[in-house]
């Protein structure tokens, strides 16, 4: 097994995740089987309870793991499916070590950071990478070098470097090359970051220099001299017009050749799939505008998978999808502003939790339905579509979700088998679930099958007591999992499709999600 450890310095948000994913992609293009692990030094067991304001989108894996959004980037770039084991947190590691100590597994020894915590980290990395069956494992260490939270993980990979063969483990350090007021590229932040890394016993093999503009040869030489790496190992990672161009950019910088040499790898069958995709992106010459009505409108990372799924569909359709994030609460404050939506080619309401912004989203759904504008609803976006239909078509003015308000008509509710956990808000349905599709339905046409498997993240369901009433008036539930409704569509509408699942999590460049692809096609028309 070959290991590539990706660390970051100077500041967070430099793009370690995209760097790790891009390295994986260029090695996959060379024919290698690549997997990835994300280390998050927070004490949370997983990202499931974290607010999008704090940490961006919670990405859901096939086994129901709620993880950091970087794992979504890994899945999209590498076109693989990961599991919860691929996200290692401080909380998981300490919980396991404490459980072992309580069982007496350490035979009375004093349990310490070294060796017990570091051994647990190393064991997890090796077990997960081996289980994946991959040849190369990319490991991103979250946070920045120098953070107290990251210390045990950096010590663990230092020990791994000592234990593995020299050609089996290398370090890639992502750092910042800022521009001063005169536009000069400054190397001091990189020098100090590498100095901090070295103080922990880690010597970078590659330095990925993030800069607004291409890093100049003189700047690279200076970094190489002061940081003790070859000039060819300093890679310019300047701003790209799209994250999917980054692997190509790194390839042109000679990174893949350097990695192949350093890891003593022999090139296999080369794939041109990514290159073809980039040419397709570069040839796009038209644009459509989609309104995404949510409550985290100013935080792009909160809906990153939706943004990427729209992009994937746009590439397939030969158009650029400009997603504009609109704050649902603004429509609640000023309902007359809803007419702004008429200038968009489609309206999308994403998932979410809590009552804030829901009435604004319902107004947006009503506008899409009444004006025959293509509509795509995801998770809460489906539940609110059912509520809007019940209120305005069935005449149940107090129709709502029992998650959001007390109501005499809970069209969205806890199902009977969940009654014993009503006080806890229901149980979360997470990860892959199957749905059976109605033959001849839009859903069946989109997926080209009578079954599908998609990922879920929700608690409440459509109340079966209202299904006959709703379907009698024109909204059809065309995807079901036993007595759970998975898809709601309005056949008479130009395009009105909503799902209880999150199709955005399985969308890939070159293989877009069927509902997103159909939505963009409808918007183009």
Decide which of 354 and 243 is more confident: 243
Distance separating alpha carbons of residues 320 and 281, to the nearest angstrom? 9
Q: Summarize the confidence of residues 222-229 as an average pLDDT.
A: 96
Which pLDDT tens digit goes with each residue over 81-103?
A: 999 999 999 999 999 999 999 99
Distance separating alpha carbons of residues 114 and 153, to the nearest angstrom? 11
Q: Summarize the confidence of residues 446-468 as an average pLDDT.
A: 95
Q: List the one residue out of 276, 217, 278, 292 whose CA is nearest residue 249.
A: 278
2-44+70-82+134-277 matches 284-524 in fold: yes
Q: Which of 379, 388, 444, 493 is catalytic?
A: 379
**Is the pLDDT at 503 greater than 90, yes or no?**
yes
**CB of 233 closer than 8 Å to CB of 206:** yes
**Is the pLDDT at 242 greater than 90, yes or no?**
yes
Q: What ranges in 318-379 are assigned the alpha helix state H? A: 328-333, 358-370
CA distances 200 to 49, 170, 181, 227, Å, are 32, 15, 33, 14
428 pLDDT band (50/70/90 cuts)? Answer: confident
Q: Within the chain, what is the greatest distance between any pair of CA atoms?
A: 74
- The backbone region for 291, taken as left when phi is positive above 0, alpha when psi lies in -120 to 50, beta otherwise, is beta
How many other β-carbons are positioned within 10 Å of the β-carbon of residue 76? Answer: 25
**CB of 233 closer than 8 Å to CB of 246:** no
Question: What pLDDT was estimated at residue 113?
Answer: 96
2-44+70-82+134-277: CATH number:
3.40.50.300
**Domain 284-524 CATH (choose: 3.30.1540.20, 3.40.50.880, 3.40.1350.10, 3.30.70.270):** 3.40.50.880
Which pLDDT tens digit goes with each residue over 273-300?
A: 999 999 999 999 999 999 999 886 666 6
Question: What pLDDT was estimated at residue 299?
Answer: 65
504 is catalytic: yes
354 pLDDT band (50/70/90 cuts)? Answer: confident
Asked whether the whole model's pTM tops 0.85, one would answer yes
Which pLDDT tens digit goes with each residue over 112-151?
A: 999 999 999 999 999 999 999 999 999 999 999 999 999 9
Q: Which of 388, 454, 461, 504 is catalytic?
A: 504
Q: List the one residue out of 240, 237, 241, 238 whose CA is nearest residue 213.
A: 238
**CB of 354 closer than 8 Å to CB of 294:** no
**Is the pLDDT at 37 greater than 50, yes or no?**
yes
Question: What pLDDT was estimated at residue 420?
Answer: 52
In eight-state DSSP terms, residue 348 is E
Enumerate the domain spans of the chain: 2-44+70-82+134-277, 284-524
**Is the pLDDT at 426 greater than 50, yes or no?**
no
Question: What pLDDT was estimated at residue 424?
Answer: 42
Q: What is the bridge-based pairing of β-strands 400-401 and 375-378?
A: unpaired
Angle between helices 70-78 and 304-317 (to 10 degrees): 20
Question: What pLDDT was estimated at residue 297?
Answer: 61
Say how far residue 321 (Cα) sits from the centre of its chain: 18
379 is catalytic: yes
**Is the pLDDT at 422 greater than 50, yes or no?**
no
Distance separating alpha carbons of residues 72 and 56, to the nearest angstrom? 12
Distance separating alpha carbons of residues 286 and 288, to the nearest angstrom? 7
**CB of 511 closer than 8 Å to CB of 78:** no
Q: Summarize the confidence of residues 236-247 as an average pLDDT.
A: 95
Q: Which of 86, 161, 312, 502 is catalytic?
A: 502
Q: Average pLDDT over the chain, rounded to whole?
A: 94
In eight-state DSSP terms, residue 213 is S
Distance separating alpha carbons of residues 347 and 350, to the nearest angstrom? 10
Question: What pLDDT was estimated at residue 425?
Answer: 41
Question: What pLDDT was estimated at residue 301?
Answer: 74
Q: Summarize the confidence of residues 293-317 as an average pLDDT.
A: 87
**Structure-derived torsion over alpha carbons of residues 245, 23, 123, 164, reported in degrees to the nearest 10:** -170
Question: What pLDDT was estimated at residue 423?
Answer: 45
246 exposed, middle or buried (CB, 10 Å; 0-12, 13-18, 19+)? buried
**CB of 393 closer than 8 Å to CB of 402:** no
Which residues, at least 6 apart from 163, have a Cβ–Cβ distance to it below 8 Å? 122
Residue with tokens 């079954």: 451
137 is catalytic: no
């Amino acid at each position: 097994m070959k290991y590539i450890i990706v660390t970051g310095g100077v500041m967070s948000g430099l793009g370690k995740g995209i760097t790790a994913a891009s390295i994986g992609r260029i090695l996959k293009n060379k024919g290698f089987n690549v997997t990835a692990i994300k280390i998050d030094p927070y004490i949370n067991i997983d990202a499931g309870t974290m607010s999008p304001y704090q940490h961006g989108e919670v990405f859901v894996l096939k086994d129901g793991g709620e993880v950091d959004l970087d794992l979504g980037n890994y899945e999209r770039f590498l076109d693989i499916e990961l599991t919860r084991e691929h996200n290692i947190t401080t909380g998981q590691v300490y919980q396991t070590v404490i459980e072992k100590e309580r069982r007496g597994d350490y035979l009375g020894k004093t349990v310490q950071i070294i060796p017990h915590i570091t051994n647990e980290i190393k064991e997890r990395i090796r077990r997960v990478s081996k289980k994946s069956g991959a040849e190369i494992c990319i490991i991103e260490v979250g946070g920045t070098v120098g953070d107290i939270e990251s210390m045990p993980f950096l010590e663990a990979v230092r020990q791994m470097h000592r234990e593995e063969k020299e050609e089996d483990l290398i370090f890639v350090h992502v750092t910042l090359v800022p521009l001063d007021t005169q536009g000069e590229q400054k190397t001091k932040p990189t020098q100090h970051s590498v100095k901090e890394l070295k103080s922990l016993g880690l010597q970078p093999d590659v330095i990925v220099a993030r800069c607004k503009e291409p890093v100049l040869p003189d700047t690279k030489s200076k970094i190489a001299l002061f940081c003790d790496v070859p000039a060819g190992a300093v890679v310019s990672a300047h701003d790209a017009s799209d994250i999917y161009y980054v692997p190509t950019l790194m390839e042109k910088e000679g990174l893949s050749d350097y990695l192949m040499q350093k890891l003593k790898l022999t090139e296999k069958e080369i794939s041109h799939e990514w290159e073809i995709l980039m040419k397709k992106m570069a040839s796009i010459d038209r644009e459509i505008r989609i309104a995404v009505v949510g409550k985290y409108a100013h935080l792009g990372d909160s809906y990153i998978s939706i943004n990427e799924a729209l992009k994937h569909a746009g590439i397939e359709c030969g158009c650029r999808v400009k997603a504009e994030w609109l704050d649902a609460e603004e429509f609640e404050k000023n309902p007359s502003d809803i007419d702004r939506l008429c200038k968009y080619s489609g309206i999308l309401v994403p998932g979410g939790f809590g009552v804030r912004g829901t009435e604004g989203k319902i107004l947006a759904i009503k506008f899409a339905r009444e004006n025959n504008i293509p509509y795509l609803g995801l998770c809460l976006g489906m539940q609110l579509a059912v509520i809007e239909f019940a209120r305005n078509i069935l005449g149940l003015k107090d129709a709502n979700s029992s998650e959001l308000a007390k109501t005499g008509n809970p069209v969205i509710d806890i199902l009977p088998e969940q009654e014993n956990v009503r006080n806890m808000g229901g149980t979360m349905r997470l990860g892959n679930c199957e749905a059976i599709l109605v033959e001849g339905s839009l859903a069946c046409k989109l997926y080209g099958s009578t079954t599908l498997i998609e990922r879920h993240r929700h608690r409440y369901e459509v109340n079966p007591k209202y299904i006959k009433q709703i379907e009698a008036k024109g909204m059809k539930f065309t995807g079901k999992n036993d007595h759970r409704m998975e898809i709601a569509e309005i056949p008479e509408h130009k395009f009105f499709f909503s799902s209880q699942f999150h199709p955005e999590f399985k969308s890939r460049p070159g293989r877009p999600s069927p509902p997103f692809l159909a939505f963009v096609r409808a918007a183009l028309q």
